[in-house]
Amino acid sequence: MRVTVVDHPLIAHKLTLLRDERTPSPVFRQLVDELVTLLAYEATRDMVVEPVQITTPIGTTTGVRLVRPLPLVVPILRAGLGMLEGMTRLLPTAEVGFLGMQRDEETLKTITYAHRLPEDVSGRECFLLDPMLATGGTLITAINYLLSLGARDVTVICLLSSPEGMHILGEAIGDRANVKVVTAAVDERLNDKGYIVPGLGDAGDRLYGVASG
Number of residues that bind ligand URA (CB under 6 A): 10
C-beta closer to ligand URA: residue 50 or 106:
106
Stretch that binds ligand URA, among 15-23, 44-52, 108-116, 189-197 (CB under 6 A): 189-197
Binding of residue 132 to ligand URA (CB under 6 A): yes
Binding of residue 199 to ligand URA (CB under 6 A): yes
Stretch that binds ligand URA, among 109-117, 120-128, 175-183, 201-209 (CB under 6 A): 201-209
Binding of residue 184 to ligand URA (CB under 6 A): no
C-beta closer to ligand URA: residue 44 or 135:
135
Least spacing, CB of residue 16 vs ligand URA, in Å: 16
Provide the β-strand partners of residue 102: 111
- List residues binding ligand URA (CB under 6 A): 79, 132, 134, 194-196, 199, 202-204
